[in-house]
Amino acid sequence: MAQQLQPAIDQALGDLTNFSNADHHASVLNVFAGLPADNPQHVPAEEAMNAKARAIKLATFVAHGDIPAPGNAAFMQMLQAMEQHLTQTMNGIGDDLRQEIRRTSRSALKAINGSRSDGAFMEYEVIPFVNGNMPPGNLPALTNLAAIAALTVAQAVDYLHGYGTMNLNGLETAAKKRQKVAELIGVSADAVRIHFG
């Protein structure tokens, strides 16, 4: 009597414990199920369907045969830890993304300001502070170089701090503080040089 050939896949379905392996196993069995019935590698369609069902149940954490049900406390703790880790990771990504958007927006607005000379014909764009907030209403809007030149020392310092310049060494005079504010909002070097000397 001739020995019956078995499919090339001989891994028992009960030995598979993760979705990826189960899904791959199901895909291979599905190919073998499509072979003619007299082919030695043919497997019944029911076996391929059972393998696919098991893979789907693994992916959704539904109890199936030797796969544990998700009802026990250890399993729930594992899921909660995974959820917490994912939440922290996503929050970190969100924070990084917000910072990058803020930085990119500030750079774009500064580039626009750099193209507007002294701001007399087209006003400067308002540049958000480094923390993402807009300058407070008690500070005059920096719409042109004349507005920057009219800043008081206290207002210039508030702007410098808002734009991240905490060290005022080298900015002892009011004119130097105002010039630095102009540079921080992107006013072109030519316009700054002409106006502040």
- Residue 92 located in a structural domain: no
The total number of structural domains in the chain stands at 2
- Residue 163 located in a structural domain: yes
Split at pLDDT 50, 70, 90, the class of 23 is confident
- Both 112 and 173 in one domain: the answer is yes
Residue 89 has pLDDT above 90, yes or no: no
Residue after which a domain boundary falls, among 59, 74, 90: 59
Least confident of 21-35, 37-51, 52-66, 165-179: 52-66
Burial of 56: CB neighbours in 10 Å, binned 0-12, 13-18, 19+: middle
What backbone torsions phi and psi does residue 64 show, to the nearest 5 degrees?
-155, 110
- Determine the average pLDDT of the residues in 82-92: 83
Beta bridge pairs of residue 67: 64
Q: Which one has a higher pLDDT value, 46 or 197?
A: 46
Cα–Cα nearest to 122, from 93, 94, 143:
143
- Residue 99 located in a structural domain: no
- Both 179 and 122 in one domain: the answer is yes
Task: Please report the pLDDT score of residue 64 as a whole number.
Answer: 52
pLDDT tens, position by position, 103-153:
899 999 999 999 999 999 999 999 999 988 999 999 999 999 999 999 999
Instruction: Give the residue numbers spanning the domain of 34.
Output: 13-59
- Determine the average pLDDT of the residues in 52-73: 62
Q: Which one has a higher pLDDT value, 7 or 181?
A: 181
Task: Please report the pLDDT score of residue 102 as a whole number.
Answer: 87
- Residue 73 located in a structural domain: no
- Both 123 and 55 in one domain: the answer is no
Angle at CA 44, nearest 5°, toward 40 and 48? 115
- Residue 29 located in a structural domain: yes
- Both 111 and 190 in one domain: the answer is yes
- Both 192 and 114 in one domain: the answer is yes
pLDDT tens, position by position, 151-189:
999 999 999 999 999 999 989 999 999 999 999 999 999
- Residue 130 located in a structural domain: yes
Stated length of the chain: 197
- Residue 65 located in a structural domain: no
Task: Please report the pLDDT score of residue 70 as a whole number.
Answer: 56
- Residue 119 located in a structural domain: yes
